[in-house]
Each structure stands twice: as C-alpha cells, then as structure tokens.
Amino acid sequence: MRKIKSMKPRICSLLVLTVSLSGAIRAQSPALPNAPRPANDAPTIRNFPRNFVLGQRAIWTSPLHMSEGAAVASILFIGGAAALGAEDRHIMQNHFLDPSTNDHANTASTGLTGLFIAAPVALYGMGHMRKDVHAEQTGMVAGEAIVSSVAVNEVFKIVSRRERPTVNDAKGKFFQPGVGFDSSFASNHSIIAWSSATAIASEYDSWITKLTAYSLAGGVSLTRVVGRDHFPSDVLVGSAVGWAIGRYVSYRHHRNNHY
C-alpha cells in the first residue's frame, strides 16, 4: 500500500503527457481532424511565429479530438512510463556511480545536443545559399519542432517540479517547491535531440540519415541517465514527446504545403 501511494504523484505527472503525446501520435493518421490552414503557412522565418502558435494550439487541444487508437496508445505509454518511474530510485541508487563516467557522459550529452541544435541552422543556411528549398525548409521544420517540444516540456517542468537524481538520495520526488525551473521531469536534452532528429529523418528517405539521426538521439538519452542528470523515466518521456512532436510538425507542413 505504501508503494502504491508513493507512485501516485508520478502517475499524476505522467498523465500530463496525454496532452502533447496524443496530439502528436494522432497527427500520423489520415483521420486527423481538419486543422485551420492559412493561405500560406510554409516553413519560413516569416511564418515561424504563426506556425508555432498553430502547432501549440493543435498539441494542447488534441485530447478533445482523440481517436480511440490514440487514446489506447497514450494510456499504454503512460502506464509503461509510470512502471519505469517506479524503478527510478533503485536504478539511480545502484548504478552510474562513478564520477569520471558521469563527467564524460555529461560532456557527450551536451555536445550531441549542440549538434542537434546546430543541424537545423546548418541545413537552413546551406539550403538558402545553394537555393535548395528542401534543405532550407527542413531546417525550418526541425527548428520549429525543437521550439515546440521545448515549450511543451517547460510546462511539464513547471508542473512536475521533480528533484534531480543527485538530490535527496535519488528519491526523485515530485512537486517539490525548491525545484523551480530545474525540474528533472522531463529531459530537455532528450526532447531537443529527438524532435530535431525525427524532423530531419522524416524529411529525408535515406536510411543512413535515419540511422544516424536516431542513433545520435539515442546517445543523448543514454548519456543523460549515465551522467546522473535525469532518471530513466525522465529520458523516456522526453525522447517520446520529442519524437512525436517532430513527426507531427513534419507531417503538418507536408499535409498543408505539399512540398
């Protein structure tokens, strides 16, 4: 009974995922309800603010239009994340305890995340210089995916206020007043890496591109745990939401603009 009570805050926080994850998963289906389509919402710098607002509105209102399949997928994911969350403390108290390994993992995760932030900028810049519209728009789509996913994750952080693994014997308590904006739930590095990687992989059919993007994103997720920056469930949630929003943003632009 005590264990069940201790899991309640984690489950409550994980329920917040339904809002964004269900909307992003739903976006993969042709059954997606018709969203407002401006005359010109192509992924450009000029249209970025409007596209961002439209994307956030679609993400946060998606539960109102959930299909049965999306609801089941969301419930299954939340259940799996909650189950992993129940093991967070045990994992972090017994593994990844070498300071040198932690430091190397932190360096790796920071460097890899930097690459995923730089990639959209590089694609846009090269596409603009070479008159390569596809590369230019891919850079904008990946950039929008990053900004949209981080905006969603900041809400998770403000609501969850979860302690980091290095605090309070890795108990990972939620709703702690002293946490502020440094909440462990969910991982910003993971959500940035996976949203950028997924948007880029969705725009290019090459299996090498997909393998490289997803492998590097997986490296970010792994090193955030090994570096003791996040609990496994923090990383799982960040990775999944980043992937889903990356897919959603790419899908929406393809659907609306047919490029």
Residue 62: per-residue pLDDT: 81
Q: Work out the pLDDT band at 193, boundaries 50, 70, 90.
A: very high
Q: Given the structure tokens 């809002």, which residue do they identify? A: 19
CA-closest candidate to residue 66, choices 17, 11, 14: 17
64, with CB counted inside 10 A (0-12, 13-18, 19+), is exposed
Contact 187, 235 (CB under 8 A): yes
Q: Work out the pLDDT band at 69, boundaries 50, 70, 90.
A: confident
49 vs 85: CA distance, rounded Å? 35
Average pLDDT of the chain to the nearest whole number: 86
Stated pTM of the model: 0.86
pLDDT value at 259 more than 60: no
213 vs 195: CA distance, rounded Å? 10
- Where is pLDDT greater, at 259 or 181? 181
- Where is pLDDT greater, at 252 or 219? 219
* Domain boundary assignment for the chain: 2-21+35-257
Kindly give the residue spans of alpha helices, DSSP state H, lying in 161-231: 188-203, 207-226
Name which of 101-105, 177-181, 215-219, 237-241 the model is least confident about.
Answer: 177-181
Contact 115, 192 (CB under 8 A): no
Q: Work out the pLDDT band at 72, boundaries 50, 70, 90.
A: confident
Tell me the two tokens of residue 48. Answer: 């970025």
Convert the pLDDT of each residue in 5-32 to its tens digit. Answer: 444 444 454 544 444 444 444 444 333 3
Mean pLDDT for 81-110 is: 96
Q: Work out the pLDDT band at 255, boundaries 50, 70, 90.
A: confident
Q: Work out the pLDDT band at 257, boundaries 50, 70, 90.
A: low
Convert the pLDDT of each residue in 215-236 to its tens digit. Answer: 999 999 999 999 999 999 999 9
Residue 190: per-residue pLDDT: 98
What SS3 state is found at 23?
helix
Question: Percent of the chain beyond pLDDT 70?
Answer: 83
Contact 85, 14 (CB under 8 A): yes
Q: Work out the pLDDT band at 254, boundaries 50, 70, 90.
A: confident
Mean pLDDT for 67-77 is: 85
DSSP label at 95?
S
Q: Given the structure tokens 């603010």, which residue do they identify? A: 49
